[in-house]
Structure 1
């Protein structure tokens, strides 16, 4: 076999392993290692693998990932998320669908602390579902709202997936963070407006909640202070030029610890559980990222990447046509893979095309983030739907997906808007520069 044929055979073998249930990180690692051994022998292959682990494991910017994960876990374990929802519930709960609207805004705000969609759903779900039941909300709408709103964490800084994309593609993480703000705000507002209109037309979907006094509302604003302080520390440090993303993540962790201690909510149990969860998630992500880089280098060794670029160039696709084709590709992959796996699996092929056509890497990172939001609520996998199913076991998976479909349509519209108007994502980074 030629080198290119070996490369395509390795791709088929990797996909076969994934379909058999092998985790994507291990599938990429095993195939790339076996391929390198076949081509160069055991010793050079082992040397390449160890060098890849060292290069990526020692990247200074990669420190931001476990620290942002730890920051989110500490915020959850110390009850800061409950304060968020309590405040937004008091201000928005009396509207048609107000409880659902409050949960969307709370998820967006919590995403600015944790940066992880699964963590957002796992945290907000158990807290908000009893309220949905109490006020007689349609359970399909309720679970679909929580599963979909959790995906907002993909775009809002400090998104962990944006950190991974930035490290993998050597793109400014600060630019990615700021570029995600406008699309996230647009999507959050769109979700809220759609919920309010739907519940106004059909009050049975989401009845109005209690109306709190102005005094109670104003007092509840003080409970937003910890979250506002944390976001201000992280983003203010980055965009004020005072800290790198990694440094801001470390300061953010210290800030959460200091705030929780001042509020007398910090316990050794909360610290221990937060550390364990952050280490577990970081280890999983590290394996996927490093094996993804290893697999990418193997494809370059076999000239598969060059071959794919040559073939696609022969089609004469422009950048817009390519983006539409990638939209279809990612939408289909989202039905079978989780967001992280989808990103790492495709970047070795897609990034050379993106760079070749002159597409802005920051813009593409945001576009990819929107597609990962779609993947998180697309059947049959739908990772946030699976988490929501564990939170509300009495609600069927099909009912949760039905509740997600309106949000899925709105997210598709945002993806189309990004393709038609790239400045939606690029305007803020340009202003910051």
Structure 2
């Protein structure tokens, strides 16, 4: 069997293992190890496996992952996320669809200090749905907006997926963090506008919430200062060159711990639960990253990656045509695979092809993360929808998938905007580099 055929067989084996329920990281390590064994022999495979763990496991940037995961766990369990939603609700709740808009803005704020998607949905679902039920919101819109808004945590820094993309492609994580800010704000605005338009056209979908006094509104602003300060610590520190993204995670975590202690919300048992959850999540991510690197080394040896890049380059597609083709591909993959699998199986091929077409790797990283957002809400695999279904059992899964449709279209619209105006992504990283 020639190397390229072996690479294709290995790629298919990974997809089969994922479909039958084998953990992604274990499947990648297994297929990568066997592929190296068949291609180069036992000694080479053993050496590459050992070097992979030693090389990747000693990278300082890996420390950022448990720091940001723990930060998100603490924000969730200490009630800082509840404070954030309560404040936003009091300011925008009187708008048509105001409770849903408050959920979107709160999800963006939670994403700014957590870096995840599923956690945001699991946090905001039980918190936001009771109020929307009380005001008789349309179930599909209510659940769909929370499931979709949870994806903002993937894009708004600090993002675990941006860190992973930076590690895999050797792209500056600090630049990726800065690049995600403007698109994240635009996505939040797009989701909010979609809700507002729907509820203006059909007021019964999302009636206005209760009225609050100005004193109550301003009093609640003080409760979101901790989240705002933590976000400032991370972004200003990175933007100002005071510390790198890994160090920013440590300072951000210290900020969460400080505010939790001052507000008397941090208990030893709660901290222990957060650390246990962080350990499980971080180890899962580490194994996925190790497996991704190992199979990437194997694919390089098969020349499958370079052959695909040469083939795509030979098509002489413009940047717009390439992005259109990749978008269709990612929509289809989002119907079949979860986010981690989709990233791991495509990054070795699509990033070199995109760079060869002239696309900036930082811009392309943000594009891929937007595609990950779509995968999180695309039927039938969309993880966020199923998490939301547990928080709103009275809303059928099919209605939730229907409810995410406006937000799915808004995400596609953002891709078009970012293609037309790439400086929306690159402006902050370029400013920081000066």
- Tell me by how many angstroms 1:170 deviates: 0.9
| Aligned position for 2:68 | 68
1:215-364 superposed matches below 5 A? 215-364=215-364
| Aligned position for 1:372 | 372
| Aligned position for 2:31 | 31
Distance 1:313 1:111 in 2: 36
| Aligned position for 1:406 | 406
| Aligned position for 1:119 | 119
Mean Cα deviation higher: 253-262 or 344-353: 344-353
Contact 2:10/2:35, CA 8 A, preserved across alignment: yes
1:172-191 superposed matches below 5 A? 172-191=172-191
Distance 1:243 1:426 in 2: 20
| Aligned position for 2:205 | 205
| Aligned position for 1:2 | 2
| Aligned position for 1:146 | 146
1:57-96 superposed matches below 5 A? 57-96=57-96
What's the RMSD between the two structures over aligned residues?
1.2
- TM-score, with structure 1 as normaliser: 0.98
- Tell me by how many angstroms 1:100 deviates: 0.5
Distance 2:125 2:410 in 1: 21
Superposed structure 1 runs of 4+ greater than 6 Å apart: none
Contact 2:121/2:146, CA 8 A, preserved across alignment: yes
1:11-30 superposed matches below 5 A? 11-30=11-30
Aligned length: 433
What per-residue deviation string (whole Å, max 9, x for no partner) do you get for residues 317-345 of structure 1? 23332222111111111111111221111
Mean Cα deviation higher: 318-327 or 334-343: 318-327
Mean Cα deviation higher: 36-45 or 257-266: 36-45
Distance 2:304 2:45 in 1: 18
Contact 2:351/2:364, CA 8 A, preserved across alignment: no
Distance 1:202 1:319 in 2: 39
What per-residue deviation string (whole Å, max 9, x for no partner) do you get for residues 371-408 of structure 1? 01111111111111011011112211101001100111
What per-residue deviation string (whole Å, max 9, x for no partner) do you get for residues 40-60 of structure 1? 222321221121011111111
Distance 1:147 1:306 in 2: 37
Mean Cα deviation higher: 294-303 or 415-424: 415-424
Distance 1:189 1:41 in 2: 54
What per-residue deviation string (whole Å, max 9, x for no partner) do you get for residues 88-110 of structure 1? 11111111111111111000001
| Aligned position for 1:48 | 48
Distance 2:24 2:68 in 1: 23
Distance 1:220 1:375 in 2: 35
- Tell me by how many angstroms 1:23 deviates: 2.4
1:149-164 superposed matches below 5 A? 149-164=149-164
Mean Cα deviation higher: 192-201 or 116-125: 192-201
Secondary structure of 2:364 counterpart: helix
Distance 1:218 1:286 in 2: 43
Secondary structure of 1:204 counterpart: helix
Q: Which runs of 5+ in 2 are unaligned?
A: none
- Tell me by how many angstroms 1:76 deviates: 0.9
Mean Cα deviation higher: 403-412 or 200-209: 200-209
Distance 1:310 1:332 in 2: 23
- Tell me by how many angstroms 1:39 deviates: 2.0
Mean Cα deviation higher: 413-422 or 57-66: 413-422
1:408-423 superposed matches below 5 A? 408-423=408-423
Contact 2:240/2:432, CA 8 A, preserved across alignment: no
